[in-house]
Structure 1
Amino acid sequence: MTLADTLKGMIGLDPTAHADADMKAVLAALKELNPKPIEECSVAEAREQPTPADAVRKLMTQAGHAARLPLEVEAVQSEDTVIPGAAGSNPARIYRPAGDGPFPLILYFHGGGWVIADLDVYDATPRSIAAQSNAIVVSAHYRQAPEHKLPAAHEDAFAAWRWIVESAASLGGDPSRIAVMGESAGANLAINVAIHARDSGLRAPLHQALIYPVASNNIVSISYEENRSAKPLNKKMMLWFVQNVINDEGDLKSPLIDVVSADLSNLPPTVVVTAGIDPLRSDGEKLAEKLRDAGVAVEHRNYQGATHEFFGMAPVVQAARDAQTFVSLAQRQAFGGVPLEEAP
């Protein structure tokens, strides 16, 4: 049997059948919220749909599922602000861990296909990472499509990087210790920030953490076919996002989207996190391979029983707790803290 035959046989199967039990509980909670499929929504409707973060909050209120955040995470203080974008200002949220600085800094970009979601939907990840990496995390919003198509979000991300480099000391941070991080479309922005910093002669990130990144224009990859009907992200949703963000089909060849075709040399040490039940898994795998080929130090971990969006679900999903520990140890190592191989 050929690979094409195998993939054809997967069509119609439920890829979430082999999800971890706690992951299935989140998917069940999301289903109870009755979201309309994003690919069937107008953009305005899509932005109002229940999210996986809503499902986690719902689950935490149910008997037997209640989970408490670690004290270190509860101690993180956050404040909303605005920062310069490429065409005006954008919302941002600054997360500060307990203790005295100066702290390392991490610039974080949320997901949502460059179209939906905001700082509130993606509050959990930067809050947890601030505590675990003992760093100030700045979650930077950006202009979204289709109102602002490619490269608007990327230009805002570049502006956010320039701002954090210039403002590190006034934020209580160490200007010599700044990293970048993102989830999904935000991970795409994060690695493009590192590329932009290299090419523009700006201070480079010490480290980049790429959580299930959008990294190629290949929509017939193994993971796209395996997970064409997955939840909470499937193939039709990804096509909906892409069609909203591009100006024309030529944009699909842009290295901003097809990152695996970009020059990836001289980028900072990188961690890549992927999920088994995710159309974007192959993107992350290919990107890790291309980074290694370019001489970049890369660590990649795949969480086979997890779905897209799992990373911020640490209160209720073990794989998220494991992945956050993996990422934060790598960040602390990059900042000169506990080496990854010596961490408890």
Structure 2
Amino acid sequence: MKFKELPKKWKRKIVILSFISALFLLLLVIFNIFLVSYRAENERQRVKLVKDDSELIGERIEIQRDGTASVKANLYVPDSMNDERLPVVFNIHGGGFVGGDADVLDTQSERIANEWNVVVVTINYTKADVKPISYGSEEIRDVVLYFADNAEVYGVDPSKFTLMGYSAGAYYAADSTRLLQLADFDMASLVLCYPWTTGLKVDKLEKDFPPTLFILSGQDPISQKAKSYVKDMESAGLEVEVIEYENAVHSFIESNNPEGMVEGTVDMSDVINTEQESLAREAEAAISEWIKLR
């Protein structure tokens, strides 16, 4: 039957359905254009954070994985490293899940490697605009397991591994710790600095989840929201400690380093200043002492 021979009510239905289908396809095209543009802009911003190899303090390494893409990381060892097996701090940058780069932790990672006498590894996990958040967590898990498997090569002690993350990086650190337990590897400790906790579920954690230190900022809504997650962990009987810096703001620890002071379009004067830098160094010292006790 030809279209013109159809009853009027069926003609109307077909026209309406055709219109809806065309509108849906148009919206899909617009969304794909937006997504491509969004990813491209995020990548442009991330590239700005990458140091030239000649300027990087750490050593660039690439962790090979079976059947999937490798993971890029930066390695820092203390100047006085000897035959002693050292702890490892896996230092996870933030950036709202779609921003940031391991290079932004370059100066800080060298400093804590020497001041804490630890090996530091910063990890360039794949951002959430490219792959799901779970993919980045798996990358971090695999890097930790790589260093555990190659402990003799790097002179490290797998029983003294710590994951430390900032904001979105803290989410990744917590989720990776959970994945590591599922892989039968226990971290010695976990440090979550002003963590993004939405989406983290305490009921998914094992009873022997590692001791967790929360570094919270008194002037930061994300830190304040994290307190409910702290309470959930405590209610579950997990070992938790909280240090809150009343005058600190979000990202005060990692931002007060040379990489955090690069020229940008956003005024960072409330984050990058002498008061916040002093609090950052105080927090780093407290984290170091806490890790040593684990």
User: Secondary structure of the residue that 1:122 maps to in structure 2?
Assistant: helix
1:109 corresponds to 2:92:
yes
CA distance in 1, matches of 2:179, 2:251: 26
Specify which structure has the higher proportion of helix.
2
> Matched residue of 1:138: which SS?
strand
Is 2:125 the counterpart of 1:142?
yes
TM-score (norm 2): 0.70
Partner Cα separation in structure 2 for residue 261 and residue 158 of structure 1: 20
Match of 1:209 in 2: 191
Q: In 2, Cα distance between the equivalents of 1:122 and 1:326?
A: 18
Choose 297-306 or 322-331, whichever is displaced more.
Answer: 297-306
Gap runs ≥5 in structure 2: 1-36, 51-56, 258-273
Q: 1:285 aligns with which of 213, 227, 240?
A: 227
Shift of 1:313: 4.3
Once the two structures are superposed, the pairs formed by residues 289-328 of structure 1 within 5 Å of their partners are 289-313=231-255, 316=274, 317-328=277-288
What residue is the counterpart of 1:45 in the other structure? 41
Aligned partner of 2:4 in structure 1 is: none
Could you list the per-position Cα deviations for residues 260-295 of structure 1 after superposition, in whole angstroms to 9, with x for gaps in the alignment?
A: 453353111111011123231134322222222222
C-alpha contact (below 8 Å) 2:46/2:99 kept by paired residues: no
How many residues in Structure 1 have an aligned counterpart in Structure 2? 231
2:28 corresponds in structure 1 to none
Whether the 8 Å CA contact 1:103–1:135 is kept in 2: the answer is yes
Q: Distance in 2 between matches of 1:141 and 1:189?
A: 12
Partner of 2:14: none
Rounded Cα–Cα distance in structure 1 between residues aligned with 2:252 and 2:282: 11
Instruction: Provide the rounded CA distance (Å) in 2 between the counterparts of 1:85 and 1:147.
Output: 19
Which residue, 73, 98, 101 being the options, matches 1:92? Answer: 73
User: Are 1:163 and 2:127 counterparts?
Assistant: no
Q: Which residue of 2 aligns with 1:82?
A: 62
Matched-pair identity in %: 27
Q: Is the 8 A contact 2:175 2:200 kept in 1?
A: no
Using a 3 Å threshold, how does the CA distance of structure 1 residues 326 and 159 change in structure 2: closer, same or farther? Answer: same
* Bigger relative contact order (CA 8 A; separation at least 6): 1
How far, CA to CA, are the matches of 2:72 and 2:156 in structure 1?
20
**Structure 1 residue 48: deviation in Å?**
4.4
Distance 1:291 1:129, change over 3 A: farther
Aligned counterparts of 1:121 and 1:275: Cα–Cα separation in 2: 20
Deviations 1:77-108 (A, max 9, x none): 62111113583112100111122232111222
> What RMSD, in angstroms, separates the aligned Cα atoms of the two structures?
2.7
TM-fit CA distance, 1:152: 1.4
SS of the equivalent of 1:267 reads: coil
Conservation of the 8 A alpha-carbon contact between 1:118 and 1:141: yes
Q: Rg bigger for which structure?
A: 2
Shift of 1:314: 5.0
One-letter code aligned to 2:282 = D
User: In structure 2, how many angstroms separate the alpha carbons of the residues matched to 1:329 and 1:108?
Assistant: 16
| Residue segments in structure 1 that go unaligned for 5+ positions in a row | 1-40, 55-76, 217-256, 335-344
Q: TM-score normalized by structure 1?
A: 0.61
CA distance in 2, matches of 1:318, 1:207: 25
